[in-house]
Structure 1
Amino acid sequence: MTYAIYLAASPRESGIAWAFPRRYRGRVTQSRGSQIKPITAHNANQLYQHGTLALLVPGLLEGTTTLGELLRHGDTGIGTGEGLDGELIILDGIAYKVGSSGAAERVGDDFTMPFANVHHAAFQYQCERADIGLEDLNKRIVEANGRANTFFSVIVRGTFSFIKTRAVIKQQAPYPKLVEVADRQAMFLRHDVKGTMLGYFSPVMFHGAAVAGFHEHFLSDDRTFGGHVLDAVLDHGRIYSQVFDTLVQHLPVDDPDYRNHDFSHDSIADDITRAEG
């Protein structure tokens, strides 16, 4: 069962995520994160990004690329639609959008986006983890990888005893600022759900182009539920990583609103942290 909460709230304020039996206590393996290197075949060492999170801050939410164009640069990724129309997750070249109902639906090649990350999947097995919260899991992944100053992607496949996701309610032009939209989001709670959490880690020095740290989306195995991950507890699952040594940054230079906007008046870092947290 999915519970929708149409409120802005702190991801960890309820404490619900820690109220589960500690099963699979010994079901962990030593991390191979430090052994994972960029794979150059099929450009799997490249992370392609259209737009930046910074351009969303003042409300530049027009769709400036299509899904069809994005898929030329990879088969795996996350993003959002025009007007922040849902949370996008792409797996195996198929894109799903999670809207304000919490339900996931496939979208076609004409779906437009102001921001998205994508890459050619070549994940390498890292470790197996059980009974671990999202914050601790992410911290251990970074420590094991030793890559706090490197872009990488992580996929977690398994059963989540608890997961909290959100989807921003689609906005109409003239678009509001990002922090205003963050107060108009739907939140969803689900227990004991099998699925895939796909995330990207960005270094602190790139905060603005992306969000520093992890940006993670979820899709259930039955392809009916998902969203932007706010909090979770992994009951048991496997973690896979993919390291990038190249960032391809594509900007919407044909969009006059983007070309003419003065970003010096925007509190980019603070607004991104508030909206993405």
Structure 2
Amino acid sequence: MRINSLVATLMTTGLMTFTAISPSFCLPRVTSQVSLTRKNSILIKKNNPKDSLPNSLFTVGIGGGLIGGLYDGFYPYKSLKEHGNFGLGAPDKLDGEIIVFEGKVYKAQHTGKTVPVEDQDMTSFAMVNFFRAERTLTPPKGLNKTAFFHYLDSVLTNVNGMYAIHIKGKFKTMKTRAFPPVKAHQHTPLAEMLNLQQFFNYKDCQGDLIGYRLPYFMDNTNISGYHFHYLSDQKDNGGHVIDLLTDDIVIEIDTLDSYTIQPPATKDFEHFDFKKNREEDIKSVERGGKN
């Protein structure tokens, strides 16, 4: 199945799972969940036969749809947590950014406050996995975002690989953002709402970055490249990462080898135009501005 026909196929078939074989092709695959626990700051796999199964990314919603204005939540967080304990996303009708960490879900609101979400609340777009660290790295201190991404590129050598990335530690500076709430069925594209973003600057902070590097063949269904959300140690602030300067951090890498997409079952999704090229909009939204 070619990637450029993936969205059209999902519209007619519903939930599907794919194993990444090459940049051009994916094959259907059945996946299961992996159960993990954390002990003494090291991720330990439980004695469970499912641990031998591939590590899979579960995505609810379509990335290009979120960028283009599909903000209404349709998938409860209780169900989302059945597919992963680590990830990020967008809340129902925005009002912030979603962080999934150690099995709990948080919303970094546009007011600057970060709060836990209720299981019955909904997300419009999210991606999660059961995180298990395969590699641990200690990079140099004092890396800005550009240098930090270059460092990650030097160790994540499969340009078409899917990686879940957890960064723990201290940051000299951290800049995050969150979008305000919108009305139901409001479909103003995110790139046209950049002037409504709320930015937050933190100095000498400590916390976690939860994120992914996804390959370009996953564009539109997901969001390719690096994508990180921040959560402070106190769990009281966070958001989408716009800029940073590292201090003393540790990086954990989890290589993913399959992915599942659950498209929205909504009328708005049925009539959404995915043919439009939103590449520039995605870049603008990810970096928090058009420049």
Asked if 2 retains the 8 angstrom alpha-carbon contact of 1:80 and 1:86, the reply is: yes
| Corresponding position of 1:122 | 132
Q: Is 2:280 aligned against 1:270?
A: yes
How far 1:262 moved relative to its partner? 2.7
1:214 matched to 2:226? The reply is yes
SS of equivalent residue, structure 1 residue 73: coil
Alignment partner for residue 138 of structure 1, among 123, 137, 149?
Answer: 149
Higher mean alpha-carbon deviation, 107-116 vs 166-175, is at: 166-175
Contact 2:134/2:255, CA 8 A, preserved across alignment = no
> Identity over aligned residues, as a percent?
27
1:148 to 132, 150, 159: 159
> 1:49 is aligned with what amino acid?
T
**Residues 67-78 of structure 1 aligned to structure 2 (within 5 Å):** 67-78=77-88
Q: Which residue of 2 aligns with 1:248?
A: 260
Q: Counterparts in 2 of 1:58-137, with a 5 A limit?
A: 58-129=68-139, 130-137=141-148
Bigger CA drift: 187-196 or 83-92?
A: 83-92
1:157 aligns with 2:157: no
TM-score calculated relative to the size of structure 2: 0.78
Q: Give the unaligned 5+ runs of structure 1.
A: 1-39
Contact 2:59 2:128 in 1 (8 A): yes
CA contact (8 A) 1:61 1:114 kept: yes
Q: CA deviation at 1:173?
A: 2.7
For structure 2, the residue ranges without an aligned partner over 5 or more in a row are: 1-49
Report the Cα distance in structure 2 between the residues aligned to 1:154 and 1:79, rounded to whole angstroms.
15
* Aligned structure 1 segments of 4 or more residues deviating by more than 4 angstroms: none
Q: How much does 1:44 deviate?
A: 5.8
Q: Give per-residue Cα distances to partners, 1:45-92, cap 9 Å, x unaligned.
A: 101011121112331111010101101101111001111231111111
Could you tell me which residue of structure 2 aligns to residue 193 of structure 1?
205
1:232 aligned partner: 244
**Which digits, 9 at most, give the CA deviation of each residue in 1:98-148, with x for residues without a partner?**
011212101110111110011111123421122211221122112212122
Q: Aligned equivalents of 1:223 and 1:237: distance in 2?
A: 18
Q: Which amino acid aligns with 2:205?
A: V
Name the CA distance, whole Å, in 2 between partners of 1:97 and 1:43: 30
Q: RMSD of the alignment, in Å?
A: 1.7
